[in-house]
Amino acid sequence: MFSSLIWFAIATQIALAQQIWDTYTTTWDRTKLFTYSVATPINFVDPGDTGDATINIQEGTVYQQMDGFGAALTDSSALLLTLRISLGASDFSQSAYTYDDTAGDTSLSQFSVDRAPSYFWTVLSDIKTVQPGIKLFILPWSPPAWMKDNNNIGGGSLRSEYADVYANYLLKSVQGFTSKGFRPYTISLQNEPGHSDGSYPTATLSSSLAASIGTTLRTLLNNNGFSDVKLIGYDHNWDNLAYPNDVINRAASSFAGIAFHCYGGSVGAQSTFHNAYPNEEIHFTECAGMNGSDWWGDIKWNIDNLVIGAVENWARSVMFWNLVLDPSGNPKFPGTGSCASPGCRGVATINGNTISLNQEWYVLAHGSRAILPKDTGGPWAKRIGSTVTGGQGWALRVSAFVTERTSSTEWKRYSLVVLNWNDNSSTSWNPQPVKTIINFKGKAATVTFPVGVTTLWWFAAP
């Protein structure tokens, strides 16, 4: 009798583990917006049913560890509401400043992170209260003007004779954030180092000088108790692989990896870089939507290229530009030509006392829900292998993940993010759901995916 009870308990646990309980759905017509449902559980059973498409989970093929999905906390975002974080002013700041604007202060005696607006720190504190485990990616839009060849925060380039001073400036930035209770996860040397625009804080930085500064900064970080802070060697578009290739060739041991933006090239460049430098991390750190664009079209593009596309091309993180802006895409740096009419769109929009969640929020939510740790302090998900086959397989874009547990005896969580873009928009508008078989460990579950985005998960024994 006792052994029978044990067998019954084990069999019951395995059965429960092989069920899909939780789903989150956003549909093309917005009738569901990241809508959570706990319906009748969908069982994994012996194969036999047929569908229009088949998702095959390859749980033994494990790829990169995920770091998260998020957005940039600029001065404007902090002013309106209030993670990628600019060190000093950006194109979404109300005034020009860096952390040391005293000309010729090579000792950095006047350096202070308190030059950032006070509301910035207040909002960052509020965010950390809600999400203590948040990861901060910090980087400057410009070095101090006096370190540059044009003596201006807008445009120009860092003067090579200030390379060591600049490395110390970045170290002090890490120290300053940490002193306020915000230990950075990564630091980049320069936002968009190939872009110079005199109308807002920008600067160019050659790949050779970046490698030199990175080597110095890595030593400074290690010697000052920040060996865990990751150094990012490139933070710009997909279309210039020559720059990160040169940085890594010169100073691979100093850099944890590189980061990409969406404003030039295509996401496949990430895999090209990974294939050349498989030990370097890849992050995706910036893309901005524009006001007035098509909601469902944006959902499709962002899931296809970023939440699924960037991740299947080795990104550990995916971030959009401003977390929050007003309906016109403001506030912005005075006189800037950045994000011109109709204006950039924040992940959320604040209009007076009203907060509206935009399409970027929903795609981030779907990605984030699939990879968050299951246990407090537990590991983030890892991407695993998956394929899509069948007559309607073309209609589905899929990313699969596994989340380990803090105890090796606990069941692992398996997650999918699925885009059904079978809307026939290229001919006559006719959105069609796709009946899909999910194959997993010799069992199969049948799920019908509406046109839209679905995140779902189940648990399985180790």
Reported as a pLDDT band with limits 50, 70 and 90, residue 75 is: low
pLDDT at 462: 86
Q: What is the pTM of this model?
A: 0.94
pLDDT surpasses 70 at 263: yes
pLDDT at 40: 81
pLDDT at 1: 39
The answer to whether 398 touches 388, Cβ cutoff 8 Å, is yes
Average pLDDT of the chain to the nearest whole number: 92
Reported as a pLDDT band with limits 50, 70 and 90, residue 14 is: very low
The answer to whether 108 touches 100, Cβ cutoff 8 Å, is yes
Q: Distance (Å, rounded) from C-alpha 313 to C-alpha 308?
A: 9
pLDDT at 425: 66
Q: Distance (Å, rounded) from C-alpha 84 to C-alpha 252?
A: 23
Q: What is the DSSP letter of 395?
A: G
| Residues 302-353 pLDDT 10s | 999 999 999 999 999 999 988 999 999 888 888 888 888 899 999 999 999 9
Instruction: Return all residues near 9 (Cβ < 8 A) that are at least 6 apart.
Output: none
Alpha helices in 183-321 (DSSP H): 207-223, 242-251, 269-276, 295-302, 309-312
pLDDT at 122: 93
Q: Distance (Å, rounded) from C-alpha 133 to C-alpha 139?
A: 19
The answer to whether 274 touches 314, Cβ cutoff 8 Å, is yes
pLDDT at 101: 98
Which neighbouring-strand residues pair with 133?
none
pLDDT at 132: 85
| Residues 122-138 pLDDT 10s | 989 998 888 888 899 99
Reported as a pLDDT band with limits 50, 70 and 90, residue 5 is: very low
Mean pLDDT score, 12-26: 74
* Angle of CA points 358, 202, 311, to nearest 5°: 45
Reported as a pLDDT band with limits 50, 70 and 90, residue 297 is: very high
Least confident of 74-83, 176-185, 242-251, 416-425: 74-83
Tokens of 367: 């990605």
| DSSP assignments along 138-168, one per residue | EE-SS--GGGBTTSSSBS-BB-GGGHHHHHH
Which of helix, strand or coil describes residue 439? strand
Reported as a pLDDT band with limits 50, 70 and 90, residue 15 is: very low
Residue 344: which of 119, 76, 88 has the closest Cα? Answer: 76
The Cα-based distances of 158 to 116, 128, 138, 398 in angstroms read 21, 33, 18, 43
Q: What are phi and psi of 149, to 5 degrees?
A: -75, -15
The answer to whether 221 touches 255, Cβ cutoff 8 Å, is no
pLDDT surpasses 80 at 403: yes
The answer to whether 373 touches 403, Cβ cutoff 8 Å, is yes
